[in-house]
Structure 1
Amino acid sequence: MESIKKIVLLGQFGVGKTSLLRRFITNEFIQDYKTTLGVQIKKKHITLPSGNTMSMIIWDLEGFSSVTKTRPSYLLGSNAFIHVFDITRPVTYYSLDEEINFFKKNYPKVLLRTVGNKSDEKNPKNVLEYLKNKDIDIHGVVSAKTGEGVTELFMDLAKNLETL
């Protein structure tokens, strides 16, 4: 039995949303940075450990300084959000608590994963300690460049979505 799930990648400009998507879909990393305008949509079929299959329809949204500025129409019908921040740029994680509260209040039935990207560039220990002290639940630190944790992020999300 195949299910279809809509996953939306959100976060500020330059956090690596498009690179994470590319790493998951084609297992590639391209150094050239091009800003996403509007939305880019990709699809990947996966087989879950249960033997069921899932079509992941992944929406890569343009970055905004705040998730509250995201077009609500892009978020409609979502099964999951992956909220990405850049562990090398504090401005991308200083307001995570407010943004997470925005998702919980406005989209309480949508599965939310908050992840730090660019672990290849900096040791995430200090960032994670800072966020832990602010009582922010982070679901991992990944690297689109090296691929570390990217497949695991999407597969774990798919396993959780399978039960919903």
Structure 2
Amino acid sequence: MIKKKICMLGAFAAGKTSLVQRYVHSLFSEKYHTTVGVKIDKKPVNINGTSADLLLWDIYGEDDFQAVRSSYLRGASGCLLVVDGTRRSTLDTAHDLLKRTQETVGHIPVIFVINKSDLMDTWEIEPIQLEALEKQGMLIVQTSAKDGSGVEKAFTTLAEMMLEE
């Protein structure tokens, strides 16, 4: 069985845990739960005829007081950089985390996940910022952990990218 480690990275309260819960258990809770350290979930998948276990490392959110440990990144096959569409600052945090991830594990498949698409009318992230990311060659998937839109696509696309390598 192939095992692939996916790191869920992003700012504090961007929706990393909610995305994992939606993907693995088809659940969503309005209650906010702070991740302490790292929580690991496993999701068996079949991607284009290949069976694999995705090991989802839900790593605590980065903020002004706490930086993600590089030791959590080691061994990662892919990364979902989670951005809260309603908070522009979380995009800057994602850029910093991308740089640190590349310094730690090299260039691995990465997707920018712009979360909270159900709240798009309150987004602070402008379409021009997303276009700039795409011009840099970054893949972007808009998601809502609340209603489930885009969640399967984000994880499946990353799994496909990791299995191609």
TM-score range, shorter chain: 0.7 to 0.9
Q: Report the alpha carbon displacement of residue 91 of structure 1 after superposing the two structures with TM.
A: 1.5
Give the whole-Å Cα distance in 2 for the aligned partners of 1:70 and 1:99: 8
SS at match of 2:140: coil
Partner residue of 2:99 out of 90, 95, 101: 101
Give the whole-Å Cα distance in 1 for the aligned partners of 2:139 and 2:124: 12
Of all paired residues, the percent bearing the same amino acid is: 31
Q: Whose helix fraction is larger, Structure 1's or Structure 2's?
A: 2
Of 108-117 and 79-88, deviating more is: 108-117
What are structure 2's unaligned runs of at least 5 residues? none
CA RMSD of aligned residues (A): 2.2
TM-score, normalising length: structure 2: 0.87
Q: 1:37-92: CA deviations, max 9, x gaps?
A: 1110000101112x1101000000000127x9211111111111111010001111
- How many aligned positions are there? 161
Q: 1:92-134: CA deviations, max 9, x gaps?
A: 1135444433333443232211111001011469523234347
TM-score, normalising length: structure 1: 0.87
SS at match of 1:114: strand
Alpha-carbon distance change, 130 to 84 in structure 1, aligned in 2, over 3 angstroms: same
Alpha-carbon distance change, 36 to 76 in structure 1, aligned in 2, over 3 angstroms: same
SS at match of 1:148: coil
Contact 2:38 2:58 in 1 (8 A): yes
Alignment-derived partner of residue 78 in structure 2: 80
Of 127-136 and 145-154, deviating more is: 127-136
What are structure 1's unaligned runs of at least 5 residues? none
Runs of 4+ in 1 over 6 A off after TM superposition: none
